[in-house]
Amino acid sequence: MSTNRGKLGTYIAVIILSIIFIYPLWILIIYAFQPAYLTFDKLYPSQIPLAFTLSILVQSFKKVDLIGPLTRSLEVAFMVGLIAIGLGIPAGYGLSKITSKLSNKLVVFLFVINMMPGLVVAIPISIYFLHANLDNTVFGVALAQELVVLPLSVFITLSAFRSLPRDLEHQARVDGASLSSTFFRILIPMIRVPIIVAFLLAWMTSWDEFTYAVIIAPIVPTDSTFPVTLYNYVSRNLPLESATFALVATIPVIILAAVLQKYLKGQYLSGGLVG
Amino acid sequence: MRKGAIKETEQNQEQFLARRNVFKKSMKKNLYYLLFALPVLIYVIGLAIIPAITVVYDSFIGRNGYTLANYMALPSYGLYGALINTMMVSVGALLIQLGIALAIAMVLIRPFKGKKAFSTLVIMPLGISTVVSAFVFSIIFQAVGGYANSALVSIGLRPIDWFNTNSSSLGVVMFSDFWKNTPLVALILYGGLSSLPPTLYEAASVDGAGAFNRFIHITLPNIAPIMSIALLVRGVSEFNIFALPLVIVGYHPLILNTLIFENYSSLQTRNISYAAATLLLAIIMIYSIIVVRLGGARDHVN
C-alpha cells in the first residue's frame, strides 16, 4: 500500500519536474517557428503551436548578423579548449610527480582563485589588454576566459596522470625511450579520454561565458561572441531575431553534450564540484 | 652509559642527515616537476591575482591619494538596495535549488520506468547558455504577450505584471537561476546519495524507522558534507550572478554585479565600481570561509 503510494508520488514529482525543465525550451521552439502574429503580437499567446513557419528564421538571418558572432564564439571556444589542454597537460603531469600534499594544495589554490568574481578580475584585465592591443580580439577574449576553465583542466589531467601505473614511465625510459617520446607516444595516448573531456568542458564553458566577453569585447557587434551579441539584441528589443539566434546557438552545445555524455561517468563532476 | 648516549646522538645525527638528504632530494624533485606547472601558476597570478589586488588597491584611491571616499559614495549609487537584492537572490535561489535538487536526487535514486528519459531531461538546462535561458525567461514573464500570463489567464486567474515590483522581478531572476542551475546541484547530491550503502536503510527499516525518520536521521547527516560542497560551489556562483539579472531585469532592481558593471566604464566612477567589487570579493571570501568551517567541505576537497 505505502509503496504504491510512494510510486505514485514519484511519478507525480517526475511529471511536474519534467514539465518545468522542458518548458522554456518548448517556448523557445514555438516562438522561433511560429509567425509573429501568434507570438510577439499576441496578448495571450497559445502554449501549443497553431502554425508553422520558417520565415522568422530566414528574416532574422537577413536582418542581423548571426553568423559573425557565432564564428567568433567558435574561434574563441576552440582557442580556450586548446590552451586549456596545452597548459593543463604539462601542469597535470608535473603535479602528479610531486608529493600529493603539495599538489592538492596547488589545485585547491587554483579553485579558490576561480571563486573571485569575474567582474573583479575582468575590468583590470581589459585595461591591460587595451595597452597590449588585445581588447576586442578573439585571442584576448580567449585568454581571459581561460581563467574560468584552467582549474578544472588541471584537475582532470592531474587525476588522469595519477591513475596511470607508476612503473610505466620508468619502464619506457629503461627501454631507451626519451622523455619527450615517452610523454607523447605512451603517456598522452593513454589519457586521451580525460584530455578530450577537458577540452570539451572548456569548449562548452567558453561557449556560455558572458562576463569576460562583455568586458573585453563589449557591445561592438562586429567584435563580440554570441552571448554578448544576444544580450545586445535582447536589449535592443529584437525578440524574434534573438529567438532565432538563441535556437541556432543552442544546437552545437546539445551535440557536444551528447558526445560528452558518452565519456562522462560522473568522476569528473567531483572535480567540477570543487570549483 | 655516557658512551651509549654519545652513540645515540651520533646515530640521531646520522639519521637526521640522511633524512635531510632525502628531503633535499625530494625538494629538488618537487621543484623540477613544479616547473611543468609554472605556466599555469604564472597565468593565474598575472591574470587573476594581480588584477584583483589592483582593484582592491584602487578602491582606496581618490583624487588626492588614499581615501575612503569611494566607499562613502557607494550608497548614493544604490549600494544598500543592491546588497539586499544580491542577498535575497542568492539565499532564495540557493534554498530553492537545494530543495528541488534533493527531491530530484531522491527520485533518481529509486528505480522507475522512464528513469533514463527523466535524467536526460533534468540535465538539459546545463547545456543551455545562460544568456539564452535568460532571454527565454524574459519572454515567458513579459507583462504583455508573456507565456506565464497566458497560462494564468487560461485557468481563469488574473495576469501579473512580473517586472512591476522589486520582489517579483527578483523572483523571476531566482526562478530562472533555479532552472539553469538545479541540475548541477541535483547531480552533486545524486552522487552523494548513490555512494551511501543500501544496508544503511535496510537496517533502519528493520528497526522500524519510517520514511521521514530515515530521511532526517540517515540521509541528511550522511550527505551533509557533499551538501556543503554544493552550497560552497553554488553559493559563490550565486553571489557572482550577473548575466541572468542583466538580461532579464537590466539595472532595476540593481544587484552588486550590475552596480559594478553600470559604473566601471567611465573614468569618474571607475573607482566607485572598484569599491563595490571589493565589497563583493569580501562577501564571497567570508561566505566561503563560513561554509568550509561549518560543513567540513575541506576534507572532501582533497
Regarding whether B30 and B117 lie in a shared domain, the answer is no
CA separation for the pair B245, B138 (Å, rounded): 10
Boundary of a domain, candidates B58, B81, B102: B58
Boundary of a domain, candidates B29, B58, B87: B58
Regarding whether B136 and B32 lie in a shared domain, the answer is no
What is the pLDDT at residue A259?
Answer: 76
Query: Does the pLDDT of residue A171 top 60, yes or no?
Result: yes
- Would you say residue B132 lies in a domain? yes
Give the domain extent around B21: 2-58
Residue of A nearest to B259 (CA): A119
Regarding whether B19 and B148 lie in a shared domain, the answer is no
- Would you say residue B141 lies in a domain? yes
Regarding whether B44 and B81 lie in a shared domain, the answer is no
pLDDT tens track for A49-90: 998 999 989 999 998 888 889 999 999 999 999 999 999 999
Nearest to B95 by CA among B181, B191, B212: B181
Nearest to B262 by CA among B129, B130, B78, B86: B78
Query: Does the pLDDT of residue A95 top 50, yes or no?
Result: yes
Residue of A nearest to B38 (CA): A91
For chains A and B, what is the number of CB pairs under 8 angstroms? 250
> Sorting pLDDT into bands at 50, 70 and 90, what band is A170?
confident
Maximum Cα interatomic distance, chain B, rounded to a whole number of Å: 101
Q: What is the mean pLDDT of chain A?
A: 86
Question: Helices in B76-219 by DSSP H: which ranges?
Answer: 79-109, 115-127, 130-140, 147-154, 166-194, 199-206, 211-214
**For residues B101 and B185, is the Cβ–Cβ distance under 8 A?**
yes
Query: Does the pLDDT of residue A115 top 50, yes or no?
Result: yes
Residue segments in chain B with a per-residue pLDDT below the cut of 70: 1-8, 295-302
DSSP per residue, B11-80: HHHHHHHHHHHHHHHHHHHHHHHHHHHHHHHHHHIIIIIHHHHHHHHHTTEETTEE-SHHHHHGGGGTHH
Contact A234 B103 (CB under 8 A): no
Regarding whether B99 and B45 lie in a shared domain, the answer is no
Q: Does A19 touch chain B (CB under 8 A)?
A: no
What is the pLDDT at residue B111?
Answer: 83
Regarding whether B77 and B39 lie in a shared domain, the answer is no
What is the pLDDT at residue B2?
Answer: 56
What is the pLDDT at residue B302?
Answer: 37
Question: Sign of the C-alpha dihedral, residues A102, A104, A106, A112?
Answer: negative
CA separation for the pair B216, B212 (Å, rounded): 6
Burial of B186 (0-12, 13-18, 19+ CB in 10 A): buried
Regarding whether B165 and B283 lie in a shared domain, the answer is yes
- Would you say residue B10 lies in a domain? yes
Burial of B103 (0-12, 13-18, 19+ CB in 10 A): middle
Q: What is the mean pLDDT of residues A104-129?
A: 90
Regarding whether B144 and B24 lie in a shared domain, the answer is no
B145 Rama sector, left if φ>0, alpha if ψ -120 to 50, beta otherwise: left
What is the pLDDT at residue A1?
Answer: 43
Regarding whether B157 and B11 lie in a shared domain, the answer is no
Q: Which residues of B touch A268 (CB under 8 A)?
A: none
Regarding whether B219 and B74 lie in a shared domain, the answer is yes
DSSP per residue, A71-132: HHHHHHHHHHHHHHHHHHHHHHHHHHHS-HHHHHHHHHHHHHHHTS-HHHHHHHHHHHHHHT
Query: In chain A, what are the domains?
Result: 2-53 (no CATH), 62-274 (1.10.3720.10)
Q: What is the mean pLDDT of residues A102-120?
A: 89
Nearest to B165 by CA among B262, B258, B249: B249
Q: CB B6: neighbour CB atoms within 10 A?
A: 10
DSSP code for B157: P
How many domains is chain B built from?
Answer: 2
CA separation for the pair B241, B247 (Å, rounded): 11
Complex ipTM > 0.90: no
- Would you say residue B258 lies in a domain? yes
Task: Please identify among residues 142-201 of chain A the ones whose CB lies closer than 8 Å to any CB of chain B.
Answer: 143-144, 146-147, 150, 154
- Would you say residue B194 lies in a domain? yes
What is the pLDDT at residue B65?
Answer: 83
Regarding whether B139 and B29 lie in a shared domain, the answer is no
What is the pLDDT at residue A85?
Answer: 95
Contact A119 B260 (CB under 8 A): yes
What is the pLDDT at residue B8?
Answer: 67
Nearest 5°: phi and psi at A96?
-75, -15
Residue of A nearest to B247 (CA): A231
What is the pLDDT at residue A274?
Answer: 37
Contact A99 B302 (CB under 8 A): no
What is the pLDDT at residue A3?
Answer: 61
Task: State the CATH number of the domain containing residue B257.
Answer: 1.10.3720.10
Regarding whether B96 and B226 lie in a shared domain, the answer is yes
- Would you say residue B104 lies in a domain? yes
- Would you say residue B63 lies in a domain? no
Residue with cell 562583455: A214
pLDDT above 70: percentage of residues in chain A: 91
Which grid coordinates are listed for A158?
A: 592531474
Boundary of a domain, candidates B19, B35, B58: B58
pLDDT tens track for A136-146: 888 999 999 99
A237 Rama sector, left if φ>0, alpha if ψ -120 to 50, beta otherwise: left
**For residues A124 and B278, is the Cβ–Cβ distance under 8 A?**
no
Question: Sign of the C-alpha dihedral, residues B245, A220, A70, A57?
Answer: positive
- Would you say residue B134 lies in a domain? yes
Nearest to A17 by CA among B145, B178, B3: B178
What is the number of alpha carbons within 13 Å of residue B125 lying toward its C-beta? 29
